[in-house]
Amino acid sequence: MKNRIKAHIIVPPIKCQGIKTKIVPLILSNAVISINGRWIEPFMGSGVVGFNSGCERILFNDLNPHIIAFYNALNTSAISSAIVREYLEQEGNKLRERGEAHFYDIRDRFNNLKQPLDFLFLSRAGFNGMIRFNSKGLHNVPFCRKNNRFTKSYITKIVNQVERVHKLMRNSQWSFQCRDFTETIAEATENDFVYCDPPYFGRHVDYYNTWKEEDDIKLFNSINATPAKAILSTWHNNKYRKNPNIEKLWSKFHLITQEHFYHVGAKEINRNPMTEALVLNYKPQVPGIDRKCKMQLELDLA
């Protein structure tokens, strides 16, 4: 097996808190991927790890139907880079003219019609690149207060991100679904690889629904039972406290840690580094890479 790692990372068009862009190399360098299996993500989120896995067969799952709807539309070419450019130019001009009133009009329209392009707009014009929904399932992230958010260069950056992911889809067999994570993990075989990036227990981030301790326990049981090799991303500690479930649950498995800086926080003083933990249900080893599943890390500098 030959390890081929490129120097750049493909960045996804949908932004969300906790995106793993900076630790993609760490995750993929510890992944053991079979030519006969699939890459499976029960918690797609931004999708950045799967997008960079180089795998031809991928199953993306997420409980947030709007992420799945966006990528299903891209996968079927209902959305394209040209459509995204036209949409962002039009809505960006209105945002420049009307400011936050237009942002909240788009948010209201999205909460009513659930259109994928409006979801993209909100993910790029909302405060701090957050995705958050209230208990009624309504998007409630406030405006980033940048009327000129969608400059020509920024639109081109997003369009390029869309096109790169779309190109990967056209050359691969990817599927997107919205169901409970336990069902997705349960269908994994010994030839598959499962990467889990759930909402973090003990962290106050309502990505789409609240993640409770019982969810962490369900995830532990699923990873413990699967015949597939699996990696879980979770938090280990920050300067204030430790993740209590590291000892309660995840210490049974192999742990790798690395400091990771998150940019979520209204004030800079509240944006602190956190020690990220990778939990492996197998002993870490030199990753297996073959001709159909290469590590492709392409940095988006646009």
| Residue 171: inside a domain | no
Both tokens of residue 251? 């210490």
Residues 59 and 97 in one domain: no
Predicted local distance difference test score (pLDDT) of residue 285: 67
| Residue 292: inside a domain | no
CATH number where 41 lies:
3.40.50.150
| Residue 123: inside a domain | yes
CATH number where 137 lies:
1.10.1020.10
Predicted local distance difference test score (pLDDT) of residue 297: 38
| Residue 299: inside a domain | no
Last-in-domain residue among 124, 159, 194: 159
Residues 54 and 99 in one domain: no
Residues 209 and 271 in one domain: yes
CA-CA distances (angstroms) from residue 33 to 42, 176, 196, 265?
16, 20, 15, 35
Predicted local distance difference test score (pLDDT) of residue 8: 82
- Domain around 104: 81-159
Number of domains in the chain: 2
Residues 88 and 114 in one domain: yes
| Residue 138: inside a domain | yes
Predicted local distance difference test score (pLDDT) of residue 5: 46
Residue by residue, pLDDT tens for the chain (302 residues) are 334 344 589 999 998 877 888 899 999 999 998 988 999 999 999 999 999 999 999 999 999 999 999 999 999 999 999 999 999 999 999 999 999 999 999 999 999 999 999 999 999 999 988 899 998 999 999 999 999 999 999 999 999 999 999 999 998 999 999 999 999 999 999 999 999 999 886 654 555 667 889 999 999 999 999 999 999 999 998 888 899 999 999 999 999 998 765 544 444 444 567 789 999 999 986 544 332 334 343 343 33
How far is residue 206's CA from residue 253's CA, in Å, rounded to a whole number? 27
Predicted local distance difference test score (pLDDT) of residue 209: 67
Predicted local distance difference test score (pLDDT) of residue 170: 93
Predicted local distance difference test score (pLDDT) of residue 128: 87
Residues 92 and 42 in one domain: no
Last-in-domain residue among 159, 192, 221: 159
Strands 254-261 and 273-280: antiparallel
| Residue 129: inside a domain | yes
pTM of the model: 0.87
